[in-house]
Amino acid sequence: METNNSIQKMISILNLFLSHKSLRIKDICDLTGYTRPSVNRILHTLVENNYLQRDSDSKRYRLGNTIYYLGQKTDINNLIQEKAKPIVDELSKRIGYTITMSSIDEHQTIVVYKKQSNTSIALAPDIGGHRSVHCSASGKVLTAYSLFQDEIISNIVFEKMTESTITTEKDYRDVLETTKKNGYAFDDEEVARGLFCIAVPILNNDQSNYTISMSGYKAEIMEKVDDFIILLQSYADKIAKVIY
């Protein structure tokens, strides 16, 4: 079957970003041997469809949201779950709380794996379940550490779940700044009264596509909240070593 030359060029350009975080037009021309007018046309199409994004200051291109979300639809989460499962199970058994591992799906979190503790009530969503990023601890962490923070925030509907739920973009951005500074986030009765959740990033350099979190009744968790944060961060480091 005859190969479509334009499509092949587009694929070749996208493949460059497997090994480069960002590229200038000159870099792409040098690496592919394509002419500048040809590369310009292809880049314009990719940017228009959000497969690439262009930084107006540096004039560099990087992967866009469409590529990111397509990646979330593959079976990568199954592989991640397989590798992380023993570590998550161990943590749940150790502290006696339900532990959830989550990723992001547009403007919602999605549960990749969940270990329900026998000693705690089921309060977190099941595997495949979603929750808005504005009211969940994992959502705050994933947004705070995302390259696509503005795009995620632009799609949020700030629905008020309780009196504690964040309902404005400004307040949400303030929380994201605190989250990035502290390295963790809370859901402090923002989804349901009495429910408290702690989430930490599973870091890959300075980015996080996954989190682990624990949830339970606020009065119980607050007694040892600092200890729980340290323990979650320790196990997040263990997971990072096997999935990245």
- Regarding whether 189 and 143 lie in a shared domain, the answer is yes
pLDDT, one tens digit for every residue, the chain (244 residues): 445 688 889 999 998 887 688 899 999 999 999 999 999 999 999 999 889 999 888 899 998 878 777 766 666 667 788 899 999 999 999 999 999 999 887 788 989 899 998 765 657 788 888 899 999 999 999 999 987 888 889 889 999 999 999 999 999 999 999 999 999 999 999 999 999 999 999 998 888 889 999 999 999 999 999 999 999 999 999 999 998 7
Residue 216, SS3 per DSSP: strand
111 and 224 fall within a common domain: yes
Q: Are residues 42 and 153 in the same domain?
A: no
Same domain, 59 and 77: no
The whole domain housing 122 covers 73-243
* Residues 146, 169 within the same domain: yes
Same domain for 54 and 81, yes or no, is: no
Q: Give the Å distances, CA to CA, from 188 to 32, 130, 133, 194, 199.
A: 51, 18, 14, 8, 11
Of 168, 228, 170, 172, the C-alpha closest to 196 is 228
Q: Is residue 218 part of a domain?
A: yes
Q: Does some domain include residue 209?
A: yes
User: Is residue 53 in some structural domain?
Assistant: yes
Domain boundary among 40, 63, 86: 63
Q: Are residues 39 and 89 in the same domain?
A: no
Residue ending a domain, among 15, 44, 63, is 63
Q: Could you give the residue ranges of the DSSP H alpha helices within the chain?
A: 5-16, 25-32, 36-48, 65-72, 76-95, 137-144, 149-154, 169-182, 218-221, 225-243
89 and 157 both lie in a single domain: yes
In the prediction, which pLDDT does 243 show? 85
Does residue 105 share a domain with residue 55? no
Any domain includes 68? no
- Using DSSP, state whether 181 is helix, strand or coil: helix
Query: Residue type at 209?
Result: N
Question: 206 and 150: one domain?
Answer: yes
Is 132 contained in some domain?
Answer: yes
Is 154 a member of any domain?
A: yes
pLDDT of residue 120: 58
Domain count, the chain: 2
